[in-house]
Structure 1
Amino acid sequence: MEQDISSLYGDDGGFQNDTISRNSSSLWHKIIKAGKEIDKAGIPFSSSFTRVIGNGMTTSFRFDIWLPNSTKNLCSTFPRLFALETNKSCLVAERVGNSNHGLEGYWEWTNSIRGRALSDLNNLSDSIAAGPMLSDKDDSWSWSLKSNGSFTLATRKNLVVRGIDIDPICPFCEELDEDSAHLFVKCRYTIPLWRNFFSWWHAAINIPNDIPNAINATTYNIGPENINKVMWATSRILLWLIWRWRNKLVHGPIDQRQAVKDEDIMVSLRVISHLWLSNRKKMIHGEFNSWKTNPKSLVM
């Protein structure tokens, strides 16, 4: 794997945050570590998660990476301007607006801008002018896809395309080639996970039919916005768990493969999502026993 996954969430999901990465006791540290291992294999996993600006109401102007083709956030790119900012936690919607010439900045500084800071401001203004226009849609996350619609993950079919001599058959069903769409949403081993996922949320069964559908926030519109966001975030954790489950099967002992296939991933999803969403993201509040039976009841 968001997207997610959320994270896939926070400024850049923590992939560029050394403090998070060094915290070996953190649950998210394990996700970050897994992503960086994929990076080392030459697959740009960490950078494949990008912010998609809608109304700019949930994206940090200075801490999130939201401008197209950017690899750093604005506080890192323009530290002098960051030092002069009156509201360092301001949102995109609080600092830019649509104009006839693209996005236009609305600034609030602690002191007058001059010298090198003025040059920085001109460069910043040019950058945001070329940025995405605000809309009435919610901000979201995107997981970049190849032109053929497949994730840039080292699935067996992708490895064959890269010239690696390996059997492309899915390690779970052992019936069809393992590409990203098959692995995450179409395999007879993962389809029941999605069915159980929607049942757990007491929602109509809406199993994604492809990868874009699986990462699209509208797939999880089942009620109020706060519930939709938490369900969307939980779906990202499910995607990550499917990938981890797959790797455990592929790289683990052969004599344990059937036991791995028989694992109940929903148990892990309930535990990990409760820990992460309550402790790190503060998106839910309440006891685990309530979360595992009715997650909507804990959404803040």
Structure 2
Amino acid sequence: MSFATVPDLVLEPVIRNALIEDLGSYGDVTTRAVIPAGTKYEACLNAREDAVVSGMQVAAIAFRLVDPSLEITSHFSDGQTCQNGDTLMTIKGDAGAILSGERVALNFAGRLTGIATKTASFVEQTIGTDARVTCTRKTTPGLRLVEKLAVLHGGGFNHRYSLSDAILIKDNHIAAAGGVREVLEATQSSASHMMAVEIEVDRLDQLAEVLDVGGASAVLLDNMDNDMLREAVAMVDGRLKTEASGNVNLERVASIAATGVDYISSGALTHSARTIDLGLDF
């Protein structure tokens, strides 16, 4: 499977900030002290465990921002599966530049590969159903774009990127506005016709009210057990998109998908993914 990439120009500010953080105010003093200027070398970015690859585009940008003359060859594309010992990328050129970009490139690649790998394990549990696994906004501040890309590389789908993408009415909105009917009627009177509307419910009587009032295109079924999810899907009967959320873990994904929901969202894809062990070997 191939994946569309985000233009380097869009990703560069995130990666540049990470490099500035790591290089500090005076650059890589260790490399400058021990590596003679002009030293050339070839390094290999290697996988030290099986994984679904992500962050290759990001790692390449990190090295090029340090030194645009580096020759970078990616042997695996984002979204491909690698095995322990595989070489994911080779970097040739100035040894000092490679060393200065190493940690930022590995931090991104290991983190993003971990997210892609975790996402793939969730997606695998939904095979044979129409349910789609999606992430949430529970991402590392400042890294949402690349973390959501990693979810795509793992075969998942993205929820909204920001508060401005769509209207998602949560329990606290309902409480503050006075109820389900009140928030939906307010939305109908003020929201753009171009803006999707989803509303969160955690009880079937709330869902019944949502269906009665109208105005939503999707409903988030929050923290419901599987029996209640099945009943909710039957009540909706295709009139809205259904999203199961809350208490979603790898052991439960398959059973949630079997209830007939359209989407299964999990913050764990990003906030609880383990960093995959990758290494840069000279």
- TM normalised by structure 1 equals 0.31
Structure with greater strand percent: 2
What TM-score results when the alignment is normalised by the length of structure 2?
Answer: 0.32
Bigger CA radius of gyration: 2
